Amino acid sequence: MSFDSLGLSAEILRAVSDKGYTTPTPIQLQAIPLILEGRDLMGGAQTGTGKTAGFTLPLLQKLMDTAKPHKGRRPLRCLILTPTRELAAQVHESVQTYGRNLPLKSMVVFGGVSINPQKMKLIKGVDILVATPGRLLDHVSQRSADLSNIDILVLDEADRMLDMGFIHDIKKVLALLPKEKQTLLFSATFSNDIKKLANNLLNNPALIEVAQINTTAERIKQVVHHVDKGRKRELLSFLIGSNDWKQVLVFTRTKHGANRLAEQLGKDGIRSAAIHGNKSQGARTRALADFKSGKVRVLVATDIAARGIDIDQLPHVVNFELPNVAEDYVHRIGRTGRAGNEGEAMSLVCVDELKLLKDIERLTKNEIPKIAIEGYEVDPSIKPEPIQNGRGGRQQQPRRRSGGNNAGRKNSSARKSNGNKQSSDRSSGNKSESPWGKATGNKSRRNNSQNRSQSGNR
């Protein structure tokens, strides 16, 4: 089936063709006709499945089909909410790409940059607004954004917005919208909170799930390297250098850890940059652009980038540290293996993180192959220690919104609960002779030998 059969205009089809796409993905095949019919939609899909185009293409078509003459300021008719600045910019880029041949105007607003240029453009009027919740409410309070004419609302990565503590802002936004509107909710996970939000927001929604929730793409080759915490950076440099990796996205748990690792890799002769919520928007945009262009070989990121980075044919993702929340693993490694391409996801796991690894395998229902690299075998005498989330070992607290900056929000309760459970489990785990079990036995070393052979063939 081709895009021609989905009821899209010649102008939109030409933009799709210019982008190089000919065959719709499964979520696009299912979502586009339903959205064009005016149905509310609850969509669940793995990252990298073409979800953004799945809602962007039909909403552009609907806005053109229902366009009305207007006098004065152009009314805002479509609102797309996203959790992070990077994702907002990525979605807006798709709106611009697919709407390039249409007389529709769009813009993106988020915190971390001056609000005044955004106000100037918003006051002139746009048809489509992509926004993070906090900065949108800033514009509403300053009367530069009028939400009373919204026909289509899109909540993209709704689970992430709730996880980052945006529920109160979302409720404030919803209270400003017309009751009669089409609502599209997309989420990589369907938690109870997401289902509750959907029940209160959507009207007889169609449900689309193109893959089992919390599963990872089949084209992503996953592997775990067991290594002592103190040798992780050394092993990472070895893997990048010995395999001649040109583009690697590396995830850490903390902002301080991202800065430190990028600096250490730089001293190893590997040009690196860090991206996280404490960086200015200009620095984040510049680091991402340098990474995409190849000027920077390694981009070290916190989970704020897990769903906001879209890079064609990104070959390698490395979990330098496993995430505290298992679902974030799925989103991290989903940065590779996108749009039908193959990718490799590698996790460097120390003894402190064995419980986190088990949580990930339980969530994804997949046992990840464990590899021990010669010369980097773990020291079995090292005992697991509680994982420290912030500098000085403090549990990181969620940041309150200031001036529309959405980058630092987190839902600490889930992570804190996870951390307490993790500490308890570790305490009981210390009674066993070796927390590693059989993970680094001879079988793992045989697998490692095969892996190096395959790596050489690649």
pLDDT single digits (tens) 1-56: 789 999 999 999 999 999 888 889 889 999 999 999 999 999 987 666 788 999 99
pLDDT at 271 (0 to 100): 96
How would you list the strands of the sheet with 41-44, edge to edge? Answer: 106-109, 128-131, 78-81, 152-155, 182-187, 41-44, 206-209
Burial string for 329-368 (b: 16+ CB within 10 Å, else e) reads bbbbbbbbbbeeeebbbbbbbbbbbbbbbebbeebbeeeb
Sign of the CA dihedral with 197 first, then 330, 360, and 169 last = negative
Residue with more model confidence, 392 or 123: 123
pLDDT at 442 (0 to 100): 38
* Helices and strands (H and E) in the chain: how many: 16, 14
pLDDT, tens only, 241-285: 999 999 999 999 999 999 999 999 999 999 999 998 888 878 888
pLDDT at 189 (0 to 100): 73
- pLDDT surpasses 70 at 103: yes
Q: What is the rounded distance in angstroms from the CA atom of residue 79 to the CA atom of residue 260?
A: 38
| Residue among 359, 331, 363, 333 at smallest CA distance from 347 | 333
Structure confidence at residue 415 as a pLDDT band (50, 70, 90): very low
What is the arithmetic mean of pLDDT over 92-118?
95
Domains of the chain: 3-209 (3.40.50.300), 220-457 (3.40.50.300)
pLDDT at 436 (0 to 100): 66
Share of the chain above pLDDT 90, in %: 54
User: Cα-atom radius of gyration of the chain, to the nearest Å?
Assistant: 23
Q: How many CB atoms lie within 10 A of CB 95?
A: 25
| Residue among 59, 138, 49 at smallest CA distance from 92 | 59
| Residue among 16, 21, 24, 93 at smallest CA distance from 309 | 93
* pTM metric for this prediction: 0.63
Q: Which CA distances in Å does 438 have to 227, 332, 381, 433, 441?
A: 14, 27, 15, 12, 5
Quote the DSSP letter at residue 394.
Answer: P
Average model confidence (pLDDT) across the chain: 83
Sign of the CA dihedral with 151 first, then 156, 159, and 164 last = negative
pLDDT, tens only, 41-94: 999 876 667 889 999 999 999 999 998 887 778 999 999 999 988 889 989 999
pLDDT at 389 (0 to 100): 59
How would you list the strands of the sheet with 272-275, edge to edge? Answer: 272-275, 298-301, 248-251, 316-319, 343-349, 220-226, 370-371
